[in-house]
Homo-oligomer: A and B are copies of this chain.
Amino acid sequence: MQTPALAGGHPHCHAGAPLLRPAAPALRLACSLGSELRRRSLEWSPLRRERKARPSFCHPAGKATCLLRAGVTMSTRLPMRPPGSVPAVLLGFRPAPALTGALCLRQNLGSSSPGKKQSKENTITINCVTFPHPDTMPEQQLLKPTEWSYCDYFWADKKDPQGNGTVAGFELLLQKQLKGKQMQKEMSEFIRERIKIEEEYAKNLAKLSQNSLAAQEEGSLGEAWAQVKKSLADEAEVHLKFSAKLHSEVEKPLMNFRENFKKDMKKCDHHIADLRKQLASRYAAVEKARKALTERQRDLEMKTQQLEIKLSNKTEEDIKKARRKSTQAGDDLMRCVDLYNQAQSKWFEEMVTTTLELERLEVERVEMIRQHLCQYTQLRHETDMFNQSTVEPVDQLLRKVDPAKDRELWVREHKTGNIRPVDMEI
């Protein structure tokens, strides 16, 4: 299917010199794409007029149309946002060099040599999306051949597991994303449970530390014992700090990250779904126009046959009218196909942009979770370290325990008399 050497984007959009300069890697895709395409839509508008003036029937959507469509697509989308802003899901997006290439390929859509004619069997339309026909399909190189990128593998719809209907490829990606976020949320909840356990443990240790058991032990042993008890309070402190840091440095970040995520995903979902709906309605329009053209053509053919038989003036007038109408139906169909292709192109671009964004978000999610789990192990590590240090003062005092010293202290305080008895005399 893939030949790495070929840049097989669109079957009839090959070989054109790249129209977009490779974007500076630091530029955001949406911005660079938007401005480039707006510029191009102005550049190419004369060409658009020229194309309109030409007989449009059987004229394949050319490069100019393709870019124009893209330009229109962008211009209809941009007013929906404040100038200079980009949707949340696109924030921070940096196109990889490979992606820049992919976008160039996409820009080449429709840049076929105008003279080349294509048979209808070159394409096949499934769920209103038009693919190259399997039998005559030219090689397509993946947009990002080495990356298993989302933008390369979700063009088709998938049969619904329940058997009725289909699920869009993009829907699968969204579900993956939502599930990922759910996982992250559950990890956060898991950490929350861990925090509770630590808090409970710390509470119990602190409480036991306050216990008065053996508080009357005296001397150096008494001091060591008091330190044993105190060390429990220290341990409690260590575990409380652990739980506090778990909260601020693991649980909360994991939870916060998804703050606007679902909203953004919904927006993406609706946007792509709307584009698919538009594609469907425009596909319906194409079908309707195609049917109308067929009728007009049949009418013209019939009238032409009538002319051959009757040779009347009136009929010649009718044929002229029918030809005009047929030509108009052809133009209508071409306009519909053009609109359809514009919609598909718009969808295509949004698919690439959004799936790449989802891919970036997923990398970000995995990295983010990885970092916070590393933070968790780091905190665990520190906790064990600090815990060690709570034992040290106990060990020190245990080394100082001296029964002889303790006896001296006690005897000094409690002695009753050191005069020994003597025999009674008579």
* Contact with A411, one of B150, B194, B334 (Cβ below 8 angstroms): B150
B416 touching A130 by the CB < 8 A rule?
no
Interface-facing stretch out of A16-24, A76-84, A262-270, A337-345: A337-345
A130 touching B421 by the CB < 8 A rule?
yes
Question: What are the residues of chain B within 8 A of A157 when measuring CB–CB?
Answer: 416
Q: How many interface residues does A have (CB within 8 Å)?
A: 121
B417 touching A225 by the CB < 8 A rule?
no
A249 proximal to B (CB < 8 A): no
Query: What's the minimum C-beta distance from A206 to chain B, rounded to whole angstroms?
Result: 10
A140 touching B420 by the CB < 8 A rule?
yes
Cα of A340 to Cα of B422 in the assembled complex, Å: 11
Query: What's the minimum C-beta distance from A50 to chain B, rounded to whole angstroms?
Result: 18
Copy count, this protein chain: 2
A426 proximal to B (CB < 8 A): yes
A384 proximal to B (CB < 8 A): yes
A308 proximal to B (CB < 8 A): no
A190 proximal to B (CB < 8 A): yes
Instruction: Please classify the interface of chain A as helix (H, G, I), strand (E, B), loop, or mixed, using the class held by over half of its residues.
Output: helix
A406 touching B366 by the CB < 8 A rule?
yes
Per-residue CB contact flags for chain A residues 244-277 toward chain B (1 = under 8 Å, else 0) read 0000000000000000000000000000000000
Q: Which residue of B lies closest to A117 (CB)?
A: B425
Given contacts A217-B183, A416-B155, A417-B154, contact A425 B228 (CB under 8 A): no
Question: What are the residues of chain B within 8 A of A411 when measuring CB–CB?
Answer: 148-150, 153
Q: Hey, which bits of chain A sit against chain B, CB under 8 A? A: 1, 9-13, 57-61, 66, 109-110, 118, 120, 122-123, 125, 129-132, 137, 140, 142-143, 147-150, 152-158, 169, 172, 176, 179-180, 183-184, 186-187, 189-190, 193-194, 197, 200-201, 204-205, 208, 211, 213-214, 216-217, 221, 224-225, 228-229, 232, 286, 333-334, 337, 340-341, 344-345, 347-348, 359, 362-363, 366-367, 369-370, 373-374, 376-377, 380-381, 384-385, 387-388, 391, 394-395, 398, 401, 403-404, 406-408, 410-412, 414-426
